[in-house]
Amino acid sequence: MTDRGRPLGPQGSGIDYHRIGQVVREILGEHREPLKPVGEPLFIGPKEMAKRLEISERTLREWTRTRRIPFLRIGPLRGRSIVRFKVADVETALAKWQTKSV
């Protein structure tokens, strides 16, 4: 046990993980860069997806209801589900509906 009353590691292995964390933070200090989003987000909401596809949100809801496009449903949270779309997957799914021009 350490002086803080916590064990030093799994089954008293003698490893002080708190101290290791302190050392790592001291070494990294200001050298650690904050996480930045790279490119476009992995998932987007219905409003932005409808805007990208240049369709109404109502049409987008219909396409998700009929499973014409793939989506991720999270929830229910407070009685409502959150729907998100992966842009690449939606574009792939819509490609099969595309007709060739004459």
Note the pLDDT of residue 86.
92
Classify 69 in phi/psi space as left (phi over 0), alpha (psi -120 to 50) or beta: beta
Alpha-helix residue ranges (DSSP H) falling in 1-102: 17-28, 46-53, 57-65, 87-95
pLDDT in tens, 38-86: 677 789 999 999 999 999 999 999 999 999 999 999 887 777 888 999 9
Note the pLDDT of residue 20.
79
For residue 26, CA distances in Å to 10, 23, 31 come to 24, 5, 10
**pTM as predicted:** 0.56
**Mean pLDDT over the full length of the chain:** 80
In the block, tokens 């409808």 appear at 50
Separation between Cα atoms, residue 79 and residue 84, nearest integer Å? 17
